Amino acid sequence: MDLARSVAAEVGRPEWVGEHRTPQVEDTRLVTHYFTCLDPAYPGWNYAVTVVRASRAKTVTVNEVVLLPGDGALVAPEWVPWKERLRPGDLGVGDLLPTDEDDERLVPGFAQVPEGELDEEGADRQMLWEMGLGRRQVLSETGREQAAERWYNGEGGPHSPIATAAPARCATCGFLTPLAGELRQMFGVCTNEFAPDDGKVVSLDHGCGAHSEVRHPAERGEKVAPVVDEVGYDHITFEDTAELELVSADS
């Protein structure tokens, strides 16, 4: 223990080596001694000094000296790969985002149909590719499902505040342009420049106040009946009464 304490003092400072904690027997003639670290920069850490004695040897030697975190120690967060740390909006101008070759959201642009859907000569009866686009990869079923779930639960879906207060759904709006492929069954693109979702993907049951069928309220031509004040009165002085009588006599 004295040897372990002296080595810990050499690695740090003598005043940083605190009380001796319960040692741990790692193997035959191999023991790790722990000392509380009093360095203000490492609260909750411990000096761990592993000492060993070789077979038939009389001298104990030091194998390893490290700082190990204990209860309440301040440690760095667990490392997460950059692909998992990436969030929408992190990609900026000039940034590159490589796509993995095994990305489950993509499939080859020309995919063979499952076995059993071939004609007698072994040719595909249906080619799962998009003609004329020349793309090496296209969206897979998993990619479509992930995109549909993300869009439907986002601001362009039916649960956003603006959609809840809308007078009608996007499915009946003339400004909606449906998407191509299977996604057209649920989504389209808004083309109304005055709508908050202009140029964005919206679900068919989304909506806003800029629906194409919204009209100005009809003007009402009802006549307003006059209101007679039977409670109030006008204060008339004696001079006013004389003038009224004079006017009445002249007329």
Higher pLDDT, 25 or 227: 25
Q: What is the mean pLDDT of residues 94-107?
A: 86
pLDDT-derived band of residue 129, with 50, 70 and 90 as boundaries?
very low
Environment class of 196 (CB within 10 Å of its CB; exposed 0-12, middle 13-18, buried 19+): middle
pLDDT for the residue numbered 26 = 92
The least confident of 71-75, 88-92, 107-111, 161-165 is: 107-111
Average pLDDT of every residue of the chain: 83
- Give the confidence band of 142 by pLDDT, cuts at 50, 70, 90: very high
- The model carries a pTM of 0.54
Yes or no: say if 55 and 44 are a contact pair by the CB < 8 Å rule. Answer: no
Model confidence at 154: pLDDT above 90: yes
Higher pLDDT, 23 or 229: 23
Cβ pair 59, 28 in contact under 8 A: no
**pLDDT, position 132:** 39
pLDDT in tens, 190-233: 999 999 999 999 999 999 999 999 987 776 666 767 777 777 66
Q: Tell me, what's the pLDDT at 62? A: 93
Distance CA 207, CA 164 (A): 8
pLDDT at 113 over 60: no
Express each pLDDT in 33-92 by its tens digit: 999 999 999 999 999 999 999 988 889 999 999 999 988 898 888 898 887 888 888 888
DSSP 189-237: EE--TTSTTBTSEEETT---TT-TT--PPPPP-PPPPP---SS------
Of 84, 24, 30, 79, which Cα lies nearest the Cα of 55? 30
Which range, 119-128, 134-143, 155-164, is most confident? 155-164
The residue ranges of DSSP E strands in the chain, in sequence order, are: 17-20, 24-27, 30-37, 45-52, 61-69, 106-108, 137-139, 176-178, 187-190, 201-203
Task: Name the band, by pLDDT with cuts 50, 70 and 90, for residue 167.
Answer: very high
